[in-house]
Structure 1
Amino acid sequence: MATKWGDREARRVDILEAGRRLLTDRGYAALQMRDVAKGAGISPGTVYTYFATKEALYAALYAARLAEFADKVEPLCAECDDAEDLFVAMCTEYLEMYRVYGQELNIWAVLAGEVELEREVGGQLLVAAARIYDLVLRTVDRLRIAESTAAEVDPGLVVTMLWAVMTGLADHFTSVRHYLHAHKWEETVRFTARTFTAGLRSPGEQERQA
């Protein structure tokens, strides 16, 4: 059913849906305001009344995708008691998000204030990113990952390392670099998860696990 004239919120949803389709099917280069307008069934000028630039539209789409990512991993973080299995599940979910969104806008650059965005869109990104960070931080604490080492580690440092590893894996498997070896995603992410979690165990715990 066509969006009624004057329904501004529904029109915004139409624009976001059109932009999402272009991004998913054809990548960032295809996110042209003219094509977004066509997909939403409106004029290009109308699109600009919602999003002043292509970058602002992209950031809004990224914020929505981050929120979706958080929705999917939140039950995993709450229910999974095996750190290795949780790492694999989070990395796999992150891979799908990174494939479309991760290579064009570094969320940490936004958080650090290195990328300027409109206040509303920047705020949406910050809220979504903060939610994910807090979610993972609480999970690290719940699983007592940082306390399982011989010397207690700052949980925030564990989260930083985890995010760096996830991003590295996702970047590797969404670029041509993965053609340099014969290892598939499932094998690589499981090996990485096992190595990552083993490195956070104390020597005594490692002996018990052996």
Structure 2
Amino acid sequence: MATKWGDRDARRRDILTAGAALLADKGYAALQMRDVAKGAGISPGTIYTYFPTKEALFAELYAERLHLLHNVIEPECLSADDPAALFVLVATEYLDVYRIYGRELNIWSLLADIGAAESSAHTESLASAARKVLAVLHTSLDRMYSAQPEAERVEITSALTLLWATITGLSDQFTGARQHLHTHDWDAAAQFAATTLTRGLGLRP
């Protein structure tokens, strides 16, 4: 059913849907505003009244995807008692996010980039979504470390940095050309990384 003229919320959703489809199918290079407008059933000029640049559209799409990621991992982060299993869950859920969005802009580094850039509603939305994901992981680590002997605890921000760097590295390994250079599948690699890291960080069920 075609969006009614004047329904800005529905029109905005049409634009985001068209943009997400292009990203998923052909990647960031294919996110051209003219093509997004065509997919949304609007004129090229109209799309700029919603998103002033391709980067603004990408930021909004990325923010929406991070909110979905947060909603999936939050229940487990707040209740899971097996650190390795939680790592595998988060890494696996992030794999698709990285494939489409993270290869262009990692959520850890983007916080510093956005902080230094001129603020806008779109960049702030993306930064807020990234903070939510990282905050729930921080909360989970805090909860898990509280159950461990104090002598074995690692500073949480350092632990989170290492865990996220590993998740990103695994995702990069399995979404680029390098995935063909090894014989391990995703499940085996994620489980090995999870077991090795959580033990090294003093996290045990």
The 3-state SS of whatever aligns with 1:52 is coil
Q: Does 1:175 align with 2:173?
A: no
Structure 2 counterpart of 1:123 = 124
Q: Deviations over 1:47-106 (max 9, x none)?
A: 111111111111110011011100110111123210010000100001011011111123
Asked whether the equivalents of residues 18 and 36 of structure 1 are also in contact (C-alpha less than 8 Å), the reply is yes
Closer, same or farther in 2 for the Cα pair 1:151/1:85, shift >3 Å? closer
Structure 2: 5+ residue runs without aligned partners? Answer: none
Closer, same or farther in 2 for the Cα pair 1:6/1:86, shift >3 Å? same
Structure 2 counterpart of 1:29 = 29
Once residues 18 and 28 of structure 1 are traced to their aligned partners in structure 2, the CA distance between those partners, rounded to angstroms, is 13
Closer, same or farther in 2 for the Cα pair 1:20/1:34, shift >3 Å? same
Once residues 77 and 118 of structure 1 are traced to their aligned partners in structure 2, the CA distance between those partners, rounded to angstroms, is 30
Asked which structure has the greater RCO (Cα within 8 Å, sep 6+), the reply is 2
Q: Deviations over 1:135-194 (max 9, x none)?
A: 001100111279557353211111111111100100111111121111111111100000
**Aligned counterparts, 1:188-199, within 5 A:** 188-199=189-200
Q: Percent identity?
A: 52
Asked whether the equivalents of residues 73 and 90 of structure 1 are also in contact (C-alpha less than 8 Å), the reply is yes
Structure 1 counterpart of 2:38 = 38
The aligned length equals: 204
Structure 1 counterpart of 2:201 = 200
Q: How big is the shift at 1:113?
A: 3.3
Q: How big is the shift at 1:5?
A: 1.0
Once residues 52 and 10 of structure 1 are traced to their aligned partners in structure 2, the CA distance between those partners, rounded to angstroms, is 18
Once residues 141 and 77 of structure 1 are traced to their aligned partners in structure 2, the CA distance between those partners, rounded to angstroms, is 10
Structure 1: 5+ residue runs without aligned partners? Answer: none
